[in-house]
Amino acid sequence: MNDLIKNNIVGKIRKENFILLLLILFISAQSNIISLDYLTLIFVFLYATKLFIKRGIEIQFSIVLFTIIYLLSLLIYYFTFGWINILLSIRMLMVFILGYMAVKVLGEDFLMLYEKIIYVLAIISLILFPLQLLFYKDLFKIIGAINYLIPNFSARSSHAEDLSFVNIIVFSINSIGALRNSGFAWEPKGFGNFLIIAIVINIIQNRFKLNKKLIVLIVAVLTTISTDAYLNLFFLIPIFIMLNVKKSYFLLFIPILILAMFLSFQLPFMQKKIEREWKGRFAYKTALSDSRFPNKQISLGRMPSMMVDVSDFLKQPILGYGVQKNARTQSYYEELSRVNGLSNWLATFGIVGIIFLLLSHYYGFKKFLLQYNLRGQTILLLIILVIYFATNVITHPFWIMLQFLFVINYKEKNKFLIGEDFIPNRLKYSTYLSNRL
């Protein structure tokens, strides 16, 4: 009977963890209107809060201090600009607290469970992606028809006949990248970002040994044809592996690394695209005065976004502009969309924000790697920065969770063992017993 009770408790905890992480990935995928809706965020926030309280998790001083600093910054923004964006400010605070609570609730399960979920989603994408290549119009229409049946389900339009993007939660097709795999995300680049994190977790867990999950994840990355995903896959991840393998393997790995770097850099969306981005870094000047497309949203690109953001940062270097986007450099005619997440974070939260970003990721990765007696947290930080530089995803819940990795108490002494599972000792045992069946 005791074993049955223990199994029920462990099973319920894992089920709750699984649901919470799925919901957070759903929001972070940004693949349809439901995932973008404020009400969805509120629902997930309340679910995380429920689990946080139910498991008796204590609030750490670090998050209390973080919240106080954030609220004080809002006061400073108000006196600086004469107004603050209340809704966006509240949303940002909710995302920060959600990220913290979710990490505390999931604990050591977070990254392991994440890798398993992304692996399944990668398999689904590799089943549907060949169909996308062979029968693009037909598959697009089928998924579009599903969007049409569920009003406002698509992130672009609720009318099947004019959709440029379609999504069924586990798979998306973005017409801009018709020959690329978007997976469950809003675009191939976004899917590639999720896959890279899963690959890093996989190679750490498996001590750099080749396995079927790793092969699936790598193949999925290749189908995204994403510049930043390839940079991480062929450059930074191999360097991370080299730092941790034996010297004999290290010497063997060098020529393979050089060859992989050389060949991947010859791809048209690598070297040429990077050079094109750099040469077009001043394109924002034209966009600021362009009146051809009034009231239209224009994507600046990575380098022009960085140039504008750095210019704004220099005007408000300490705390940045917060979420007061209208106070930042903007075109009178068009809405300029910044796609460089790293520079946008710098302009949004200033020096204080960028220091928190760097230190939180660095120490979070360091704590994680210590569990496996590995090194290379600086390389993992660079991998994250490449992702942030290429995509404006930092403020999505999943990526905020990665900033709070440092709050996980690995192998915490205050636990009791159930079989091979550790359960927080603070968890009210009777709470689960009353709901076990």
- How far apart are alpha carbons 329 and 338 in whole angstroms? 11
Residue type, 402: L
Quote helix, strand, coil % in the chain, to nearest 5.
70, 5, 25
Q: Are 99 and 403 in contact (CB under 8 A)?
A: yes
What are phi and psi for residue 424, nearest 5 degrees? Answer: -55, 130
Q: Which two tokens stand for residue 335?
A: 């809405």
* Alpha-carbon gap, residue 190 to 120, rounded angstroms: 17
**Res 123: pLDDT:** 98
pLDDT at position 431: 44
pLDDT tens per residue across span 105-128? 999 999 999 999 999 999 999 999
Helices (H), 32-85: 33-36, 38-54, 61-81
Distant-in-sequence, close-in-space partners of 90: CB < 8 Å, separation ≥ 6: none
Nearest CA-CA partner of 348 in 9, 23, 84: 84
pLDDT at residue 264, rounded to an integer: 66
CA 139, 141, 145: angle at the middle one, nearest 5?
Answer: 120
Output 168 or 266, whichever has higher pLDDT.
168
Q: Which of 9-13, 360-364, 397-401 has the lowest mean pLDDT?
A: 9-13
Enter the tokens of residue 192. Answer: 């590639």
Q: Band the pLDDT of 147: cuts 50, 70, 90.
A: confident
Average pLDDT value for residue range 2-9: 66
Q: Which carries the bigger pLDDT value, residue 192 or residue 425?
A: 192
* Residue 152 Cα to chain centre, angstroms: 24
User: Does the pTM of the predicted model rise above 0.85?
Assistant: yes
Rounded to a whole number of angstroms, the distance between the first and last alpha carbons of the chain is 13
Q: How far apart are CA 197 and CA 401, in angstroms?
A: 13
Q: What average pLDDT does range 254-259 have in this prediction? A: 72
Listed in sequence order, the residues at least 6 apart from 141 whose beta carbon sits closer than 8 Å to its beta carbon are: 160
* Contact between 195 and 204 (Cβ < 8 Å): no
* 28-42, 124-138, 361-375: the lowest-pLDDT one: 28-42
Q: Is the pLDDT of residue 28 over 90?
A: yes
Q: Does residue 352 register a pLDDT over 80?
A: yes
* The token pair that represents 41 in the structure block: 């965020």
Q: Mean pLDDT for the chain?
A: 83
Give me the percent of the chain exceeding a pLDDT of 90: 51
pLDDT band for position 144 (50/70/90)?
A: confident
Q: What number is the average pLDDT over the span 422-428? A: 43
Nearest CA among 84, 94, 91, 71 for reference residue 325: 84
Please give the structure tokens belonging to residue 354: 């960028």
Both tokens of 137, joined, read 């119009």
Higher pLDDT, 294 or 335: 335
- Where residue 251 falls among pLDDT bands split at 50, 70, 90? low
**Can you give the pLDDT at residue 36?**
86
Residue 163 one-letter amino acid: L
- Domain map (residue ranges) of the chain: 2-275+344-435
| pLDDT at 7 (0 to 100) | 64
What is the predicted pLDDT for the residue at 413?
40
Give, for 337, the enclosing helix (H) or strand (E): strand 335-337
Residue 172 near residue 184, CB atoms below 8 Å:
yes
CB 129 within 8 A of CB 138: no
Q: What percent of the chain has pLDDT over 70?
A: 77
- Residue 269: pLDDT above 80? no
Q: What is the mean pLDDT of residues 205-231?
A: 93
**Res. 317: pLDDT tops 50:** yes
Taking the C-alpha atoms of residue 108 and residue 409, their distance in angstroms, rounded to an integer, is: 8
Q: Predicted confidence band at 268 (pLDDT cuts at 50, 70, 90)? A: low
137 Cβ contact list (under 8 Å, min separation 6): none
Determine the average pLDDT of the residues in 382-403: 93
Answer with the residue of higher pLDDT: 291 or 348: 348
Q: Is the pLDDT of residue 299 over 70?
A: no
User: Dmax over Cα atoms in the chain, in whole Å?
Assistant: 74
- What's the pLDDT score for residue 293? 59
Q: Is the pLDDT of residue 382 over 50?
A: yes
Q: Is 75 a residue whose pLDDT tops 70?
A: yes
- HEC assignment per residue over 112-154: HHHHHHHHHHHHHHHHHHHHHHHCHHHHHHHHHHHHHHCCCCC
- 247 has pLDDT over 70: no
* For residues 296-312, average pLDDT: 80
Interval 36-64: pLDDT, tens? 889 999 999 999 999 999 999 988 888 89
Q: Is the pLDDT of residue 154 over 60?
A: no
Phi, psi (degrees; rounded to nearest 5) at 37: -70, 140
CA 213, 219, 224, 230 dihedral sign is: positive
